[in-house]
Each structure stands twice: as C-alpha cells, then as structure tokens.
C-alpha cells in the first residue's frame, strides 16, 4: 500500500503536540505513590504511522507531560487495540 499523492503530509509528533488545545489534555491518576497520587497530563490520538513513505497500521499516539511549571513532553506509540479504554492505557503506562 502506498500513500496517495493527494494525501496530507505527515506531521511530526512534537509539532502535532504543539497544536493540541488545552481542553484535549486530561489529568488521570497514574498510580498511588508513597507521597500521594502520581498525576500527569495525557492526550491519546489514533494515528497511522508512516515509515519510508509508506503508511503503516493505525496505532495510539500517547502524549504525556508532567504537571510542573515547565513540563517535559514525552510521546510514544502504542499498539493497544482501538477499543482499549483510556483508563487501561493510563494504568499500563504506570507499569513501565
């Protein structure tokens, strides 16, 4: 399968994260720590990865940032099924 010539150009994840509205970010509790709950901000998006100009499978892009004055942005791809709940994705993320 090849990307159509008329298909939109792929977005880099860091650039995509910069366009996310404030309302897109949620604050679930990742896990309970010794000093209270561990919380971060998350956005989950379904995307189709592109490698070597070819479309790949649809996956979750997980954007995570700490709740600090200068939050560090982290992002990764997950092959969890589309039906996987947000709570389950956050729970599994907390196991890493």
| Whole-number pLDDT of residue 95 | 63
More reliable by pLDDT, 21 or 4: 21
Q: How many CA atoms lie within 13 A of 72 on its CB side?
A: 1
DSSP summary character for residue 85 = -
Tokens of 63: 């954007």
Mapped onto helix, strand or coil, the DSSP state of residue 61 is strand
Handedness of CA 71, 24, 59, 57 (dihedral sign): negative
Does the pLDDT at position 1 exceed 60? Answer: no
Residue position matching structure tokens 């399968």: 1
- List pLDDT tens digits, range 32-41: 778 888 788 9
DSSP summary character for residue 26 = B
Please give the model's pTM, rounded to 2 decimal places.
0.77
């Amino acid at each position: 399968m090849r990307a159509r010539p008329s298909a939109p150009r792929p977005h880099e994840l860091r650039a995509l994260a910069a366009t996310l509205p404030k309302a897109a970010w949620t604050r679930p509790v990742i896990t309970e720590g010794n000093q209270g709950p561990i919380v971060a901000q998350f956005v989950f998006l379904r995307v189709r990865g592109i490698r070597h100009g070819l479309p790949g499978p649809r996956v979750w892009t997980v954007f995570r940032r700490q709740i600090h004055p200068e939050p560090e942005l982290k992002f990764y791809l997950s092959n969890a099924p589309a039906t996987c709940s947000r709570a389950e994705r956050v729970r599994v993320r907390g196991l890493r």
